[in-house]
Structure 1
């Protein structure tokens, strides 16, 4: 902390040395100011950017004469000679009708113009941040071509490209200043929790599609690169304050606040520092989907909550169920009256289990040192120390819904970079804070009041009495008897809002023991290093790069989520790559070849080659075609390998070879919590009513039935005659679950970039072939007996009888499908100045996949992507003096959503957003007002998450 206080004190301390102060203004061809234009001294490290009025101040110790270079995205570049100290300059930049000259780095790990990029690439700049009709720049990324946003919470949004979208998007990589933002424990990015402040964004580059050849295993479906501003070129104090409302039918109208400040200073030509702090607070979208779920997880729209086996999408605790006839705890006369259906306990709504409070505070500090700033050859060499911290409240949806309460992440980086190289190392650490699982919260609040066994006994007894007419004023029909039985069993239940409920809730979420609590515990780490060197200044005929990376995972959930109860789990992975690039035919043709080798513990090594070309069809390079072929791979995540997570109705078990024996689970021993073993099963196992049996991960993977076949067996058997046990058993299929291995893809990409009659066009198509596609599915493990397809053994100790007695446990396992999965897509992006200073941009994406579900009915590919998406933006930054406006619209077609939480339909949606901004020149400020989802029709992006309503906001940003 003393170090941070010292750094902050430096921002407000002056250092006196001989210097020149160059002031000026940068405008466009219509004499309108250009904000965010870059000004740098050629041959020196000094530089700055213009404010919202196009003004700049450039301090340097360099003595005239020297030359400055002025540039901005969408405009040409100009050089101005400085002949005297304190010179004032005025620069007019000419418009470029195309964005094809923008410089990008991510596509080939080397600076190149967009027109020369061998793959599809999208870019979001400082200019786009200002004009985005969205509450934050991160929300504004949704309007980029190829981007699909999945909103799990107001503050937790996952970006995806090219299909197979999930909240836990492990196929997509997000880098901030070169650091992977992924959670060490979860293996995916938690939105912008520890990302970058919108007043510190320099640029965002999106690289859709497989990129393993340069970026390794996790760059499977795409990468998002976010780069922050340098304190050498962007100095001063910038601050913003944002206030608004969220509006949703379920939650009503609620306030939200967002504040941020950035402080940056180049104290000398050699040393600079900066600090950022942001804070956001609001009310989350309420998740109020009360449709039911079938046994297989399919959403049933409009199901009546009075259904005895009701299991609501956003209702928890109703996962505890029992077939009363199967577990007869009553007399023989009552047995004939009990229904042959599953009865579920009364659950609690999600809104009863969370405050729906969204918070996010993040800060970062960095020190930048250029030891040879005055050297022409070494002026770009820079050493950086950076620390980032993020803490927040949000909701994450995986196999259950999890309230991330005080979830904390931090990253620390040391980097040494120059014109042609970088070497960096960083660490990521996280702490689960007070986070908890909503399913176990509800289950254990119910059990704290009344055990499952007692509740079902009360239900069965009351049902029998009502059916026999022994309860005055109560009907004898099944529906009437069920209603009476539930009210009787629920008498005295802990009700939300009461002191008794609050006391039980607080006790449960503070306890990590799943038998009594729901707290999530986590203190995991990632240690990562990578390096790259470009030989372009040494080897001239061909530009050659080499690089590599090394990563160590240190998983530590104290046995709550992973099988690390006896100590943390550590494993590593590394990769090396090289790339060669050559221009031919007077630079009209550029060929690029890359190859990478990666190796991870538990898996064989993988090679990922890429070949690509870019060809200019004309001398001016206004028409360019590109094509690429590459193979990519994805290592199974930490969850795929080492998870051992009890979520109540089932447990998640990873399939690393050593995890099959690391994972063990005790069943039985606690009949009060619906964990009993049937009387028949106790006899087979030779145990008493409180006896136990231990299952392992090996049982889940090697001695299980597919869940689908178990459901078919159970339905057939319990339907009664004419189906008997032998007939029902013909439905059973033993689960064949190979150990999970890396997933592989062959990716073909073809595209065109060019300008036609003033339109900037980007057209691309892709075709992907996936092998060993990774997924999870459910299996049912019997407590005794051997799982077999179409079994013929019906003895008392057989697996078939275990199924009859429901002496079984459901597991979610991780494996690969043996079938090939294919996906293809098409994208079109265009932009044009349509009238005066009005700019129109739009894009369309088509996506589909091919998977023969009938050949592998238990495997879910979870494509989760609309076939059609259309986006458009119309804006004018100069509608009149200091005033700009933009309107954005999005539409997507209906599509199927598949996940371990719920399966169903995401409806088509049309969303219109709008913003207007006004620059207050004298105050160096921008006032911005905006609104999202102007039509007001609420829509969903994740089945199980809250519907997205409207947002209104006003912000005030003060610039240097």
Structure 2
């Protein structure tokens, strides 16, 4: 009895506690129901969402009177008062414009896009439902001013305002406040291990520098992906997509993508959710046989052929030098025969991801404690210095966060594992060498060439005979010998003898922010800061960490003051000032200020201007890489990194005849202290003219800086919405990567001994990381227009202009990697309610041609025109949306970068259940 009585008392107390029941509906101004609208008791966290019929019911532990708010993205918010129990509330929400949508990213505080001090793009639930792309992440490519470079089917790289490669470390990507850059690679890998579609609440994107609030990595833009909170979005939702990918090189292949979200609000104090997503398809095959050296021809006509998507043929030598200077041997470079990419990968594209969260509100208000965990694995292709098969890559994140509307404090850890990933170029090289060493292959080539020449063969005939003899017995793709050599290489993490990446790097991050607006009416004041510690652990396969992990850290603090001034009934002025200080343990600290002003005229027009500076610290690769790519060795320029890369080299016969030792030890420091520019050294060797040599000796790297000015206008003219922005960027100490040649003997500048080393090919080519002396600037503008036609048809379009301001003639060997088209145009036309519950959307994208520069290779990306389309049907009785869509409807294949597979078409149907 003593045990039962307390429970009985608790039970009777609970049933006598005051409860108010309310119900009702939410519709738009045309009387159509609004599914997924938020219903919140004002001043509390108690709430629910409407179902597919726009209806809701809610029990509130509160006695009337109190107020209830109804809101939905793209509509104006409405508040009604509850005065009695069992009251029915019928909300009518008036549709707003894209400028009325609320964003948080621009100022770290809620504000309408219309009033944002800087350019911001956003997609929400409505845009995700109506996107013509196959998923929400691909849909980012329809945003104004945004480039989405397709690395592979499951790895897309988002960028704004130029200066991008697939290793886009100038751009930051946050998922629920967590940076999802990989610790090993130090840049985002798209949505490979990101979010599933039914858990996406909103996506916001800030183009350009955002260092004043977000630190060093937000140098050229930042993407925010926010998931649904289980307190606001409970229930089970799911989607299933089935279709095909169609490409000339790979054919027609099945594509499957599904995900499920389960969330439950156990009480006003506790809620939880879990998500799971799976995607499987066949990647865009890359099969370009264009000569990467730009010497032209094919393997049959070019003895030094190096195909773009042919690997192993990067290994070459000057056969006259290799012969000891025999006059009968021509002074030409000859490369080994390589393997096609399709022979080195299975093109499997796969993504498996899951996340879970526990959310606790101890006081039943907006104060929340949460734990979130994320894990994902996948297979894709990544193009960096070489092409890499990312197989079984794994990344996990764990976050603990405390927050309410005035502050947040969170800490998280990000860890990755490379899985069975490998370098396809290195794999091809090792397969060739497993069959026959480079020395033996070139020896066979030279001996056969000489014999054929003495036998009366022409030069072309002699080269053909030499390659046939040298390749005799070569491992054929698919043969047992080929498979054995392939498996041996991809499982060997020693990049001298194998091609496997081995990594288990980690970073730890903490950041916090406090908004004092509830304490003072003078201005909105925020302060915040962050701390990050890296622990690089690639076992010497990527970084120079073969003797143990490399640890280092950085931190930053910032403040922002924002003031609204009502100048008159028709004029409002919003002033914002921000400044941040960041410090890496390797460099002096930097201040990043931002000042902006926004003038609102007659509530429908906003003019804004801002100036800011930003910076980015050298990445983990810039500092600590020590990677042999086959063509050259990448050596990061952290002071204690230069001597950690060390190798013993064999000296040529010619060098030994001149009195040099048989072997010599050289460290990566030589690339920075005793080197010529690669272009001048190769030109000098080819012409036997030492006067062409130019000393390189690049400086040790330091942070890159940017100063930017931006103006913009947002306005409403009846049904027409205008959003315009223009910017000018000025870069200082632009971080760049150069190619240098370090002789094994002699001192650069002596023009004798060091030149002999160059002529004898007794040297190492290094990829070095430094800062350019050149002034690099860029400028551009974007304008977006949207309106409604014929009542309910949505029409929008945008144009973006981007231009590099750089004197290429003055610095002919300097590479900026600007990599963005000068002109882009995008448009969409659709209707969310063409007739009852049926909608459609068609989008168009144009990009003019541009020149792509990257470590993998340089080349023209041809202009392209892409049309995507979808139709969708809402079935309220099934709480379902059915969708059929196609991307690249014209079927004309295109690329967004040099060296990748051509992008074909995708056709799919999908079924989404209960996605509110």
The question of a shared fold, defined as TM-score above 0.5 by the shorter chain, is answered with yes
Out of 446, 449, 462, the position equivalent to 2:432 is 446
Aligned residue pairs, count = 897
Match of 2:632 in 1: 650
Match of 2:475 in 1: 494
Q: How is 1:329-348 mapped onto 2 (pairs within 5 angstroms)?
A: 335-348=326-339
CA contact (8 A) 1:241 1:259 kept: yes
Match of 1:286 in 2: 285
**SS at the partner of 1:947?**
coil
Return 5+ residue gaps in structure 2 as ranges: 1-13
Q: How is 1:834-845 mapped onto 2 (pairs within 5 angstroms)?
A: 834-845=789-800
Match of 2:691 in 1: 730
Structure-2 separation of matches of 1:465 and 1:61: 97
CA contact (8 A) 1:60 1:269 kept: no
Structure-1 separation of matches of 2:801 and 2:415: 38
Asked if residue 687 in structure 1 is aligned to residue 642 in structure 2, the reply is: no
Cα 1:42–1:307 change in 2 (3 A) is same
Match of 1:748 in 2: 709
CA contact (8 A) 1:184 1:525 kept: yes
Out of 730, 734, 738, the position equivalent to 1:773 is 734
Q: How is 1:705-854 mapped onto 2 (pairs within 5 angstroms)?
A: 705-717=676-688, 728-788=689-749, 791-792=750-751, 794=752, 798-854=753-809
Structure-2 separation of matches of 1:31 and 1:696: 74
Structure-2 separation of matches of 1:300 and 1:152: 26
- CA drift of 1:34 comes to 2.0
CA contact (8 A) 1:291 1:300 kept: no
Structure-2 separation of matches of 1:219 and 1:91: 40
**SS at the partner of 2:374?**
strand
CA contact (8 A) 2:674 2:697 kept: no
- CA drift of 1:200 comes to 0.4
Match of 1:672 in 2: none
Match of 1:265 in 2: 264
Q: How is 1:577-588 mapped onto 2 (pairs within 5 angstroms)?
A: 577-586=558-567, 588=572
CA contact (8 A) 2:215 2:580 kept: yes
- CA drift of 1:584 comes to 1.4
Cα 1:302–1:259 change in 2 (3 A) is farther
Match of 2:67 in 1: 67
Structure-2 separation of matches of 1:190 and 1:300: 33
**SS at the partner of 1:213?**
helix
- CA drift of 1:450 comes to 1.1
- CA drift of 1:758 comes to 1.9
CA contact (8 A) 2:193 2:378 kept: no
Q: How is 1:594-613 mapped onto 2 (pairs within 5 angstroms)?
A: 594-613=578-597
Cα 1:846–1:86 change in 2 (3 A) is same
Q: CA RMSD in A?
A: 1.7
Match of 1:211 in 2: 210
Cα deviation per residue 1:470-492 (whole Å; 9 max; x = unaligned)? 8xxxxx22222222221221111
- CA drift of 1:517 comes to 0.9
Match of 1:700 in 2: 671
Structure-2 separation of matches of 1:336 and 1:820: 47
Match of 2:9 in 1: none
Out of 451, 458, 463, the position equivalent to 1:465 is 451
- CA drift of 1:95 comes to 2.1
- CA drift of 1:85 comes to 5.5
Cα 1:679–1:121 change in 2 (3 A) is same
Out of 506, 523, 531, the position equivalent to 2:487 is 506
**SS at the partner of 2:109?**
coil
- CA drift of 1:944 comes to 1.1
Match of 2:5 in 1: none
Cα deviation per residue 1:702-735 (whole Å; 9 max; x = unaligned)? 1000011012112212xxxxxxxxxx11100000
**SS at the partner of 2:728?**
strand
Structure-2 separation of matches of 1:397 and 1:305: 27
Cα 1:385–1:891 change in 2 (3 A) is same
Cα 1:300–1:927 change in 2 (3 A) is farther
- CA drift of 1:686 comes to 4.8
Q: How is 1:398-437 mapped onto 2 (pairs within 5 angstroms)?
A: 398-437=384-423
- CA drift of 1:89 comes to 4.1
- CA drift of 1:88 comes to 4.8
Structure-2 separation of matches of 1:83 and 1:924: 32
Structure-1 separation of matches of 2:95 and 2:699: 59
Structure-2 separation of matches of 1:528 and 1:818: 33
Cα 1:923–1:598 change in 2 (3 A) is same
- CA drift of 1:560 comes to 1.0
**SS at the partner of 1:786?**
coil
Cα 1:268–1:697 change in 2 (3 A) is same
Structure-2 separation of matches of 1:140 and 1:284: 19
Cα 1:302–1:78 change in 2 (3 A) is farther
Deviates more, 1:486-495 or 1:528-537: 486-495
- CA drift of 1:835 comes to 1.7
CA contact (8 A) 1:35 1:127 kept: no
- CA drift of 1:62 comes to 4.1
Asked if residue 615 in structure 1 is aligned to residue 599 in structure 2, the reply is: yes
- CA drift of 1:648 comes to 1.1
Cα deviation per residue 1:99-131 (whole Å; 9 max; x = unaligned)? 222111111111111111110111100111000
Structure-1 separation of matches of 2:711 and 2:494: 53
**SS at the partner of 1:874?**
strand
CA contact (8 A) 1:608 1:630 kept: yes
Match of 2:307 in 1: 312
Cα deviation per residue 1:792-821 (whole Å; 9 max; x = unaligned)? 4x3xxx101001101011000000111211
Asked if residue 321 in structure 1 is aligned to residue 316 in structure 2, the reply is: yes
Match of 2:224 in 1: 225
**SS at the partner of 2:428?**
helix
Structure-2 separation of matches of 1:56 and 1:667: 75
Structure-1 separation of matches of 2:103 and 2:507: 28
CA contact (8 A) 1:36 1:126 kept: no
Match of 2:537 in 1: 556
Cα 1:265–1:61 change in 2 (3 A) is farther
- CA drift of 1:293 comes to 1.6
Q: How is 1:862-941 mapped onto 2 (pairs within 5 angstroms)?
A: 862-941=817-896
- CA drift of 1:664 comes to 1.4
CA contact (8 A) 1:590 1:613 kept: yes
Match of 1:237 in 2: 236
Asked if residue 363 in structure 1 is aligned to residue 349 in structure 2, the reply is: no
Match of 2:7 in 1: none
Match of 1:478 in 2: 459
Structure-2 separation of matches of 1:341 and 1:555: 42
Deviates more, 1:659-668 or 1:435-444: 659-668
- CA drift of 1:54 comes to 2.8
**SS at the partner of 2:483?**
helix
Cα 1:401–1:80 change in 2 (3 A) is same
Cα 1:687–1:714 change in 2 (3 A) is closer
Match of 1:591 in 2: 575
Cα 1:469–1:684 change in 2 (3 A) is closer
Structure-2 separation of matches of 1:36 and 1:614: 33
**SS at the partner of 1:662?**
coil
Structure-1 separation of matches of 2:59 and 2:760: 81
Structure-1 separation of matches of 2:843 and 2:51: 25
**SS at the partner of 1:761?**
strand
Cα deviation per residue 1:482-540 (whole Å; 9 max; x = unaligned)? 22221221111111122221121111100011232100011100100001001101121
Structure-2 separation of matches of 1:349 and 1:695: 33
